[in-house]
Amino acid sequence: MPFVLPSLPYDRSALQPHMSAKTLDLHHGKHHKAYLDKVNGWIDEKGLDGLSLVEIVHFAKQRGDRALFNNAAQAWNHGFFWQCLAPGGTHPSEALASKIHATFGTTERMLGKLKEAAATHFASGWAWLVLEGGSLRVTSYHDADTPIAHDGVKPVLTLDLWEHAYYMDYRNEREKFAEAVLGHLIDWDFVERNLDGEGAARADQEQEALVGAG
Ligand code: FE2
């Protein structure tokens, strides 16, 4: 059963001026779609039928199938990223803020670490706030790599650091993109839900027959 490109949870122009409709057209409509199309094209050939996207990421990693891993992980990463964003952003609740403060002291320090990760990460990848051993941690992964492929690491919040995420709106200034997104577009309610450690399932994209049945 092929995977279906999940709809954005907002209009493509709703994140302006921080992220343009043109960027979302390309990033969601072309890049994310291309990753899913690749995975869909391999369902029969690689025996993936019946596996969820998260299971395919694990399957690909176990078998050392780099091409499958890259495309499945990128599809999952993007499905998670879109949900981290909301028009105008929201504010962290007291419960989330206290969890953040327990590790970082202040929310600003946590955001500063994410910005630093975004600014200093070499080449393509993703900056992450993850849950590990019950505590929050800021990290970054290269290329398609994803916390769901690492034992004990749970996804909480991500920022896409690939050039296709920001080049049209910010040219080469990735740090400005990170500042704008982290400062104006984060859906902290989604972030808080991921403190339950179940974030992986939230971007486990729908398959055609299930969509039809639902
Ligand atoms: Fe991307």
Give percent above pLDDT 90 in the chain.
95
Residues 73 and 105 in one domain: no
Predicted TM-score of the model (pTM): 0.96
Residues 98 and 179 in one domain: yes
Between strands 135-142 and 153-160, the pairing is unpaired
Residues 196 and 158 in one domain: yes
HEC string for 116-164: HHHHHCCCCEEEEEEEECCEEEEEEEECCCCHHHCCCEEEEEEEECCHH
Range of the domain at 47: 21-83
Closest C-alpha among 191, 55, 58, 52 to residue 131: 191
- CA–centroid distance, residue 127 to ligand 1 (Å): 12
- CA–centroid distance, residue 105 to ligand 1 (Å): 30
- CA–centroid distance, residue 7 to ligand 1 (Å): 15
Query: Which range among 72-76, 148-152, 210-214 shows the weakest confidence by mean pLDDT?
Result: 210-214
Instruction: Give me the residue label for tokens 């403190």.
Output: 195
Residues 112 and 61 in one domain: no
- CA–centroid distance, residue 5 to ligand 1 (Å): 14
- CA–centroid distance, residue 98 to ligand 1 (Å): 30
Residues 133 and 185 in one domain: yes
In a domain, 65, yes or no: yes
In a domain, 5, yes or no: no
Residues 76 and 174 in one domain: no
Sign of the CA dihedral with 90 first, then 111, 14, and 208 last = negative
The H-or-E segment that residue 214 falls in is none
Q: What is the pLDDT of residue 210?
A: 56
Instruction: Give me the residue label for tokens 């990421």.
Output: 57
Residues 103 and 163 in one domain: yes
Give residue-wise pLDDT tens across range 145-186.
999 999 999 999 999 999 999 999 999 999 999 999 999 999
- CA–centroid distance, residue 31 to ligand 1 (Å): 7
Question: How far apart are the C-alpha atoms of 37 and 54, rounded to whole Å?
Answer: 16
Residues 73 and 103 in one domain: no
Q: What is the pLDDT of residue 190?
A: 98
Question: How far apart are the C-alpha atoms of 3 and 13, rounded to whole Å?
Answer: 25
Closest C-alpha among 203, 214, 212, 170 to residue 52: 203
- CA–centroid distance, residue 129 to ligand 1 (Å): 17
- CA–centroid distance, residue 96 to ligand 1 (Å): 26
- CA–centroid distance, residue 33 to ligand 1 (Å): 11
In b/e form, how buried is each residue of 44-70, taking b as 16+ CB within 10 angstroms? eebebeebbbbebbbbbbeeebeebbb
Residues 101 and 194 in one domain: yes
Q: What is the pLDDT of residue 214?
A: 44
- CA–centroid distance, residue 77 to ligand 1 (Å): 8
- CA–centroid distance, residue 37 to ligand 1 (Å): 15
Residues 132 and 103 in one domain: yes
What is the band of 205 on the pLDDT scale with cuts at 50, 70, 90? confident
With a cut of 60, say whether residue 213 has pLDDT above it: no
- CA–centroid distance, residue 162 to ligand 1 (Å): 6
What is the band of 208 on the pLDDT scale with cuts at 50, 70, 90? confident
Residues 170 and 194 in one domain: yes
Is residue 23 within 8 Å of 161, Cβ to Cβ? no
Sign of the CA dihedral with 144 first, then 148, 154, and 157 last = positive
In a domain, 10, yes or no: no
With a cut of 80, say whether residue 209 has pLDDT above it: no
With a cut of 50, say whether residue 211 has pLDDT above it: yes
Q: What is the pLDDT of residue 212?
A: 52
In a domain, 140, yes or no: yes
CA 182, distance to chain mean position in Å, is: 13
Query: Which of 59, 83, 107 represents a domain boundary (last residue)?
Result: 83
Per-residue pLDDT, averaged over 124-143, amounts to 97
With a cut of 70, say whether residue 28 has pLDDT above it: yes
Q: Which CATH number goes with the domain that contains 142?
A: 3.55.40.20
Question: How far apart are the C-alpha atoms of 214 and 212, rounded to whole Å?
Answer: 6
- CA–centroid distance, residue 160 to ligand 1 (Å): 5
Residues 75 and 101 in one domain: no
